[in-house]
Amino acid sequence: MHFLPAAAARSVEAEDQRHAAMGYVSEAFAEARLDGLDTDCIAQAALFASFVEMVATYGEEAAAVFAERLAERVRNGEFTVDRSSH
């Protein structure tokens, strides 16, 4: 039997939750597109809702610090998905 240290187990659990959450968001996007909503509108609404939750959870300053790092992460390709392989 293999045991993970407590911190590693929490990290695996958090990763599992992030994957599950991304699945829910992807499904919501797909449903909204099927209903005829513009992808840009869906994305902007999702970002707005996300930041509302981040501010409510972590506060304005922490959400602002997160937002400040987004430009570099986008430029580094962190959010780029190769859709040609799908």
**Whole-prediction pTM value?**
0.73
Query: pLDDT per residue over 33-49, tens digit each?
Result: 999 999 999 999 999 99
Evaluate whether 13 touches 5 at the Cβ level (below 8 Å).
no
Rounded Cα distance between 71 and 30, Å, is 25
Per-residue pLDDT in tens (0 to 9) along the chain, 86 residues:
555 566 666 788 899 999 999 999 999 999 999 999 999 999 999 999 999 999 999 999 999 999 999 999 999 999 998 766 54
Q: What is the DSSP letter of 83?
A: G
Range of the domain at 33: 1-37
Whether 73 and 42 map to the same domain: the answer is yes
Domain count, the chain: 2
Rounded Cα distance between 19 and 13, Å, is 10
Residue 9 resides in a domain: yes
